[in-house]
Structure formats: structure tokens, C-alpha cells
Amino acid sequence: MHPQTRDAPGDDGLPHSRGWERGPGGEGLPPRSPIRRLPPLVASRIAAGEVIERPSSVVKELVENALDAAARRITVELRGGGLDEIVVTDDGHGIEVDDLPLAFVRHATSKLAHEDDLMRVGTLGFRGEALASIAAVADVDLLTRTSASPHAWHVAVRSGHADAPVPATRTVGTTITARALFAELPARRKFLRSRAAETGQVTQLIGALALAFPSVALTLTAEGRRVLETAGDGDLVATIIAVHGRATTGYLIPIFEDTDERAPTVVRGCLGWGEATLPTRAGITLLVNGRWVQSRSLTFAVDEAYRSLIQVGQHPIVVLDITVPPHEVDVNVHPRKAEVRLLHERAVFAAVQRTIRRTLAGVGGPRPSSLLDGDSERDGWPADGGPANGQGAGAWTRGLTVLGQAGGTYIIAEGAAGLYLVDQHAAHERVLAEQLRAAWDGPTGQQALLEPAVIEVAPRAIGALRERLPEIAATGYDVEPFGDGALIVRAVPAALADRDPLRTLRDTIEALADEAPADDWCARLAELVACHTAVRAGDHLSTEEMAALLDQLGEADLCQACAHGRPTAILLSHTQLAREFGRLY
């Protein structure tokens, strides 16, 4: 609650004689000032500051208004990172001249008539605050025309005061120009970052809105240069490529689930894999009931679902459109409506993770080889394991014939689609990790040691370990700290009994101490154990061992990546081979 925005009671009503006002140690406080009502313009600037923090906030409100007005084409122009000028032009339905006097009045809106409507807001805006807030921190010009009007109208707003509309010319739609942002609020301006950084923020915002509305053509220019442009033809994959670049081409999987439309949570969208990753989470775009939201917890759920499928330190490019019943989401919890509150948050997370894992497991095949050729081969997925046929995980390893081992490291195998090279360590690691997780999902087998063993670990690892004791116990280890820097082990998981369980435990604990606390300790342990115990590059394998490994890989849930996200296998398709040898042009 911001006291300035509350109706201040004024001096008169306040009790001055109460003892607690002086309180202990009160002598050191500065003399008390009377409470005064803020001049309206100052009050409105402070309130505006909650909504309008930076150029991207202005752009968000203006573009959302254009979307609410059913625009099909919206352009955003920035000058000086948006601080000098922001122009948003749309071809929406425009504003009636009779409504213009109210457009810049706080809490005046055409989108919400009753308080009850708040629970089923169908538009992006509903508070009737944005135009008033923008006008409080910038000079604004509005040019608008409806289809019923023979000409356009222009309204100039200076220092929060709107002039009467005057006739003007333009086609149906609205153009709003905001100039000299925060010129009267030097403190606010100081908090802003460089113009380039502000442009970056707007670019991310427009990208997200473009992904939320693939049927609307959005164009962003900054300092006269085009930064982003979408076609607005409704094609989500094409929109993702427009927003995140051509490197994502061929690595985007639309979510096709037999969704029960009556299910409480429906997840649609598109998942990136392979090259479609970024070193930041900026590629994760989340929509809840069509509204772009920034939710740390939902983003985490997405990241978590991808863990071990992509390289450590990378994050996926993902667009998720999550639909929940309108009364189960509250969009009115955040001044900028950037966050939402979900009534059944956990159930929504579970649905998101389930959808991601199912869709990615359906990819099933090895990554397309990048050895010989690029783009054209991405379409040439093997018939027995391409992303499009949805045959499920592991289909590609079926019916492979082992031809031999290269460099003591790669299994060479042949299948219907061509020649496969399988990284034996990566493949074995994936198989072991899956087996361990499966073992721990069931009742945990434990093997007691004949004599308790003491193992030494780094002291910093002991601290991290204490919080993890229950989870470690769940894997079958019976472990207790034993002074500073040692552990006493009484039992080990049966699944690890012949896999050097003590060394594995020590390595895992040390490795985990250096990582941010992982959410799922068991999964992490399984990955690390698998990495430690899998066959190594350079280990000689017999043909039978290699065939057995490929079989097991076929059964693993997610066979296309090892636990660290490196590829498990590459395919040299018949087409690629034929082209390489000049048999195909």
C-alpha cells in the first residue's frame, strides 16, 4: 500500500498526545512533519511509477491497448532507447471522439464494467490506468480514427492535461506518441540503464508479445533500424524463428497432445531442442490464458523438465500457452500484470512438466548429423525415429546391426535410415541414469556393510549434505556426518552395491557441493553415478556388449541425449552418404 495514493486524513484527525509516538530512543529522530495531501500531479506521477518504470513499460501498455483494439498490424518505433520518443501505431478499431475526454482519466476504461468482471478478464488491459500514467510521465499525442468517423482526431496531452480533440487525418486505427519520458522525474531517469539496454528490454517484450499473438504482425524499429518483424500469419514456428533467429530452424517441435479440452490445464505451444537453446532463460516465453507472464516458478518448472536433455548452462527456447479455467487465475496481483497467481499452482507445474517430457520423449531419434551437411538434411529424418512420426522413444535403435567400434569410443551400427555412430559412454550413461531412477522410484533396496565405513569429504560438502540427508536416505545410503570432514556409512543402495558405492558417494557429494542446490537430489545422484560408472571412451567392447547397450538405449525413456546433454548418437543418412560420394545431386 502506498500512503500517497490513499486518501490522506489531513492533520486534524490525528491524535498527537499518544505516548507511543515518542517511544524509546525517539529523541534521535528528525522533527516530525505534518501529513499533507500531495498535489495531484505529483501523486499521479508516483502512482504512475508503479506501472511505468521504464520505456518498455510504456511500450507494453500501448501495444496491449492496440491488441485489445483487435489490431492486425502494430509498429513500435523507439528513439533514444524510448526515452526520447516512443511511437506505437495500430490498425485497430480506434477511439470514438466522445470517449476521448475519458481516455486519459485514471480508472476510466472501456473494458470492465463490473467488479465481478475482474475474475474473467478477457482483455489485456482493465484498470484504465495506463494512458493516464503515461501522460503523467511524458508528453503524449494521440491520433485516432474509428471506421464510423469521417476523419481522425488528435489530442495533445502536456503535463497530464489533455487538450480538446481537434480534427486530423489518418486511416482507421490509433497512433500514440510519448516523448521526453521521465523528463520531470530525474530520479527515475537515473535508475534506467543505457539506451541500448532499454532497447534490449523492449525487444524482449515485443518478442514475447509476438509469440503470444502470432496472428498479429508486429514490427519494432529502434533509432530507425528494424530490430524485429513478424509476419502475423498465425504460424507459431515461423514467429519463433522471426524472434529467436534462423538457428532455431528445424529444432522446434510443436506440442501435439491429445488434450482433453475439459482437463483443468491445457498446455499448447512449441518446444525447442538441439540447437534451439540459449545461455539465458530469455528464450522461455510463458502465456497463461493468452497473457504473457514472467513467473520464476513456472520458468523453473520448464528448466527442470529439460534438465539432462540439454547442455549444462543452456536453457531451452520454449513457448508455452497454458490454459486454465478463468476463475483459477488472478491477473490482478501485480501492478504491471506481469505475474499471475494460480489457484492450483502445483497441478499446473505437473501438467507443464508432463507435456514437455512426453513431447521430447517422442522425438526419439538421434540428432541429425552436422558432419556432412546442414539444413537440407534436417528434413531427412530417419523413417524409424524422426520427430514427426511420434513413434516414441527408442524406436531408432530397433533393428540396428552393430558393425564395429571406432577409436574404442564409438559404436558403428547400421539401420534402415543409414549409418549410426553412437557414443558408448554417453549412451551407457543415459541407460544407467534411467535404470537408477527407475530403481529409486520403487522400494529402495539396501545392502548393509559388514563394517561401517568412514569416508573423507571436504568440510564445505558436509554442510550441504546435512540438508540432503533425508533424500540421500531415500536412495538407500545410510549416512551420517562423522565430525568435520568425514562421513560414516552403514549401508549402500543395492543398485550400486557392485559399482564402487563409497567412492561414488564421495564424488557425488563433492560435486553437488559446488552446484546450486538442485531440486531433485536423486535425479542428480543418478546422473553422477551413471557418469562415474558408465563405460569410458577407450574401453573395448565386444559386439554382444555393444548390441546389448543399443537395446537398452532403446528402452531408455529419453535416448537422444546423455545426462550432460551431449548427443548420444549421430546419423549419416543414406542420402547424405550418397551425396558425399557423388551418387546424388
Residue 115 or 544: the one with the smaller Cβ distance to Mg ion is 115
- The answer to the question of residue 91 lying near ligand ADP (CB under 6 A) is no
**Using CA atoms, how far apart are residues 81 and 195, in angstroms rounded to an integer?**
4
Residue 452 neighbours by CB under 8 Å, 6+ apart = 488, 489, 490
The dihedral region occupied by 489, where left means phi > 0, alpha psi between -120 and 50, and beta the remainder, is beta
- The answer to the question of residue 65 lying near ligand ADP (CB under 6 A) is yes
Residue 48 or 550: the one with the smaller Cβ distance to ligand ADP is 48
Residue 179 Cβ, how far from Mg ion at the closest point, in Å?
Answer: 19
Residue 103 Cβ, how far from ligand ADP at the closest point, in Å?
Answer: 4
- Return the residue of 81, 94, 125, 366 that touches Mg ion, per CB under 5 A: 125
Closest residue to ligand ADP: CB criterion: 125
**Using CA atoms, how far apart are residues 268 and 483, in angstroms rounded to an integer?**
52
Q: What angle do CA 314, 512, 439 make, to 5 degrees?
A: 90
For 383-440, the three-class secondary structure string (H helix, E strand, C coil) is CCCCCCCCCCCCHHHCCCEEEEEECCCEEEEEECCEEEEEEHHHHHHHHHHHHHHHHH
Residue 560: all three cell numbers together: 537422444
> DSSP assignment, residue 33?
P
Residue 94 or 125: the one with the smaller Cβ distance to Mg ion is 125
- Binders of ligand ADP among residues 384 to 413 (CB under 6 A) are none
Residue 570 Cβ, how far from ligand ADP at the closest point, in Å?
Answer: 51
CB 562 within 8 A of CB 547: no
- Binders of Mg ion among residues 231 to 250 (CB under 5 A) are none
Half-sphere exposure of residue 354, counting CA atoms within 13 Å on the CB side? Answer: 13
- The answer to the question of residue 219 lying near ligand ADP (CB under 6 A) is no
Residue 98 or 484: the one with the smaller Cβ distance to ligand ADP is 98
- The answer to the question of residue 78 lying near Mg ion (CB under 5 A) is no
Residue 64 or 321: the one with the smaller Cβ distance to Mg ion is 64
The closest of 256, 230, 252 to 243, measured between CA atoms, is 230
- Binders of ligand ADP among residues 112 to 171 (CB under 6 A) are 125-132
Residue 65 or 248: the one with the smaller Cβ distance to ligand ADP is 65
Residue 128 Cβ, how far from Mg ion at the closest point, in Å?
Answer: 7
Residue 123 Cβ, how far from ligand ADP at the closest point, in Å?
Answer: 7
Q: Which residue has cell 501498455?
A: 61
- Return the residue of 49, 81, 82, 92 that touches ligand ADP, per CB under 6 A: 92
- From the list Mg ion, ligand ADP, none, partner contacted by residue 549 (C-beta under 5 to 8 A by kind): none
| Span near Mg ion by CB under 5 A; candidates 117-125, 268-276, 496-504, 541-549 | 117-125
Residue 142 or 562: the one with the smaller Cβ distance to Mg ion is 142
- The answer to the question of residue 111 lying near ligand ADP (CB under 6 A) is yes
The closest of 254, 197, 208, 198 to 230, measured between CA atoms, is 208
Closest residue to Mg ion: CB criterion: 125
- Return the residue of 90, 198, 328, 377 that touches ligand ADP, per CB under 6 A: 90
Residue 149 burial (CB count, 10 A): 15
Residue 292 neighbours by CB under 8 Å, 6+ apart = 208, 209, 211, 212, 285, 286
Residue 82 or 364: the one with the smaller Cβ distance to ligand ADP is 82
Residue 332 Cβ, how far from ligand ADP at the closest point, in Å?
Answer: 11
- From the list ligand ADP, Mg ion, none, partner contacted by residue 573 (C-beta under 5 to 8 A by kind): none
Number of residues near Mg ion (by CB under 5 A): 3
- The answer to the question of residue 94 lying near ligand ADP (CB under 6 A) is yes
- Return the residue of 65, 203, 314, 323 that touches Mg ion, per CB under 5 A: 65
Residue 159 Cβ, how far from ligand ADP at the closest point, in Å?
Answer: 17
Residue 126 or 410: the one with the smaller Cβ distance to ligand ADP is 126
What's the residue count for the chain?
A: 585
Q: Would you tell me the crossing angle of helices 55-68 and 130-137 to the nearest 10 degrees?
A: 150
Rounded alpha-carbon distances, angstroms, from residue 259 to 23, 265, 267, 322, 392 = 63, 9, 8, 12, 17
The dihedral region occupied by 402, where left means phi > 0, alpha psi between -120 and 50, and beta the remainder, is beta
- Return the residue of 44, 57, 89, 109 that touches ligand ADP, per CB under 6 A: 109
| Span near ligand ADP by CB under 6 A; candidates 107-115, 275-283, 426-434, 507-515 | 107-115
The closest of 498, 504, 446 to 476, measured between CA atoms, is 446
- From the list ligand ADP, Mg ion, none, partner contacted by residue 425 (C-beta under 5 to 8 A by kind): none
Residue 160 neighbours by CB under 8 Å, 6+ apart = 41, 44, 104, 132, 135, 136
Residue 125 or 362: the one with the smaller Cβ distance to ligand ADP is 125
**Using CA atoms, how far apart are residues 7 and 38, in angstroms rounded to an integer?**
10
Sheet of 418-423: strand order equals 367-368, 569-573, 418-423, 410-415, 401-406
| Span near Mg ion by CB under 5 A; candidates 130-138, 140-148, 156-164, 172-180 | 130-138
Binding characters for Mg ion, 371-410, by CB under 5 A (x = yes): ----------------------------------------
- The answer to the question of residue 359 lying near ligand ADP (CB under 6 A) is no
Residue 113 burial (CB count, 10 A): 8
Q: Kindly report the backbone phi and psi dihedral angles of residue 76, in degrees, each rounded to the nearest multiple of 5, phi listed first.
A: -125, 125
- From the list Mg ion, ligand ADP, none, partner contacted by residue 94 (C-beta under 5 to 8 A by kind): ligand ADP
- Return the residue of 44, 49, 61, 81 that touches ligand ADP, per CB under 6 A: 61
Residue 94 Cβ, how far from ligand ADP at the closest point, in Å?
Answer: 6
Residue 108: all three cell numbers together: 476510466
Q: Which residues bind ligand ADP (CB under 6 A)?
A: 61, 65-66, 69, 90, 92-95, 103, 109-111, 125-132, 174
Q: Which residues bind Mg ion (CB under 5 A)?
A: 65, 125, 130
